[in-house]
Structure formats: C-alpha cells, structure tokens
Structure 1
Amino acid sequence: MIEVYEVSNRQQLEDAFRVRFDVFVEEQNVPEEEEIDEFEEEAVHFVVYDGEKAIGASRLRFEEDYAKAERVCIYSSFRGTGSGRLLMQAMEYKAMEMEKPVMKLNAQKYASGFYQSLGYEVTSGEFMDAGIPHVEMKKSISW
C-alpha cells in the first residue's frame, strides 16, 4: 500500500534524500552539489513508501503568500501508479494548514502535463535548471 508521510524522524529524512539522490543525480544527471542546498533545514520534507520501500520524496517551503513544492520525485518504476498524485495532495494539504492559498513549483517540462492534470497552470516560459528544461507552474488551493 502506498502511503505519504511528512518526515518526522531521521530514518524518513534519510530515505527521502536517498530517493532524491537516485532520481535526480543517478537517473537525471543533476550535479550532486546542486541536489542538497541551503533550504533543506527550513523545508518540510515528505517521503512516499510502498510498504517498507521508499519510492518517492519531495520538500515544501513557505514564502510570504505561497507554498513552493520542490524536489518532487518518484522512482521511474512507480510513476503512473498514483503515488505522485498522493504526494502532491499531501503537500497541498500541508500548504492549506499553513494558510498558503497558492502552490507554486518549477516543473521539468516533460512532467508539466502531470501537474496540469492536478490543476496547475504554466506561468512562465521555458527555462533551464540543472541542465533540464523547466516551466514555472501554480495552482490556487483552498479547503
């Protein structure tokens, strides 16, 4: 059974970082020094498990009037299973708890259709981040 957790202990955080490393550094060739950054301490982290196995991760940061979803990733063998949708729902719920009416993210361009299916709209032209084409997206959220 696939479940999403807001990280609450060291093991969950290590699992989240391992998934992020595997997906971004190993699979997508993002430079390792760009994967972990100065925002890790201020972010709320999430990890997705299929039973005991960590299969996805993300982090959420809060700005003045919006929440920003970052480092959203699912192992390739689990994409299309609904786990990414559950992960995004968990982050949106947390953003609403924190009274942030807007979610933003910088989506890899190839994944923008996934986010559009969740109600996100493209709000920028294409730009490069870590050598990968991205677009900014946002969604108004409320209870």
Structure 2
Amino acid sequence: MEIRVTRDTMSDIYFDALRIRNQVFVKEQGVPYELEVGNALEEASSVHFVLYDDGLAKGTVRLLADLDDKTALIQRMAILKEARGHGYATLLINRLIEFAKENRLNKLELHAQLSAKGLYSKHGFNEVGQVFEEAGIQHIQMERTIH
C-alpha cells in the first residue's frame, strides 16, 4: 500500500484522483460534474493524494494550502465504494497530518459530510459552526490545530 502525491494536473496520479472523485461524488452521490471539478485554479493549486493498494487507486483527497496563512483546506476525500471499510480514509488523513507538519502548517480545515463527521472527530478534528448544505449534501465545518 502506498500514497502518491502530486501537484501536476497532467499526471497519472491526478487522473486517478479524478476518476475516483467522479465515481464517488458524481455517479454515486449525484453531485454535478461542474461543481466537482469546476475550478481549474483550485485543482492546479492543490496537492493531490491518491492511495494505491496492489497497484490500484482506491482513495483520494486533495489539500488546498494557503502556506502564507499556514492553514490548509482538506477537500474531496473519496474512497471507492468497494474499498470502504479497509482503513484507507484513516491512512489518507494521517498522511495529510504528516504533510501539514512537514510544511509547518498550523491548522487543517474541512467541510465534512455529516456521515463522515465521526471519522474526522477520531483524528482530532472539532466541529465549528452550524450544519450547512453544499452540493445538496449536509456538511459541517471542522478544523484541527497541528502541533
């Protein structure tokens, strides 16, 4: 098992990330494609993480970092349906936290789907504010300070 990281939106790693996101968000959850991959600047400004098991891409997440502010936004966490329940999301979250420490980030923020809130809570993320709707799905903002 390995997690590959890229900033290159023309790389095979990035295309694997898009394929997973399309499967999970667009096909499974019904998010319009334009919302899922609508902002080319955000895509190009993000760090994309893809988890591979036996050479196959199983999950992805991206990190939109504002390194001047020392805060980064976790976005687009997706695990293929058939790959859920194997701890892949935890591995990706741990890698994001490691990346944040390596890059001296102070805080990670995210908009968690309510169904994933417990996962992030287990990793030290705290709820901030009220439940809101994003792409027709209930979310809650969460954040974690990096030590």
Shorter-chain TM-score bucket reads over 0.9
Matched residue, 2:23:
22
SS at match of 1:29: coil
After TM superposition, where is structure 1 displaced by more than 3 Å over at least 4 residues in a row? none
Number of equivalenced pairs: 141
Matched residue, 2:54:
51
Matched residue, 2:32:
31
Tell me by how many angstroms 1:7 deviates.
Answer: 2.3
1:85 is aligned, of 90, 113, 135, to 90
Higher alpha-carbon deviation: 18-27 or 88-97: 88-97
Matched residue, 1:119:
124
Aligned-residue Cα RMSD (Å) equals 1.3
SS at match of 1:26: helix
2:102 is aligned, of 88, 97, 100, to 97
Gaps of 5+ in 2: none
Tell me by how many angstroms 1:8 deviates.
Answer: 6.3
Return the letter of the residue paired with 2:30.
N
Return the letter of the residue paired with 2:15.
E
Matched residue, 1:69:
74
SS at match of 1:125: strand
Report the TM-score when normalising by structure 1: 0.93
Query: 2:30 & 2:7 partners in 1: Cα distance?
Result: 29
Tell me by how many angstroms 1:68 deviates.
Answer: 1.0
Gaps of 5+ in 1: none
SS at match of 1:126: strand
Query: 1:92 & 1:80 partners in 2: Cα distance?
Result: 21
Q: Residue by residue, what CA displacement relative to the aligned partner does 1:42-99 show, whole Å, maximum 9, x if unpaired?
A: 0011101111111111110112131111001111222221110110111111112221
8 Å contact 2:111–2:142 — kept in the other structure? yes
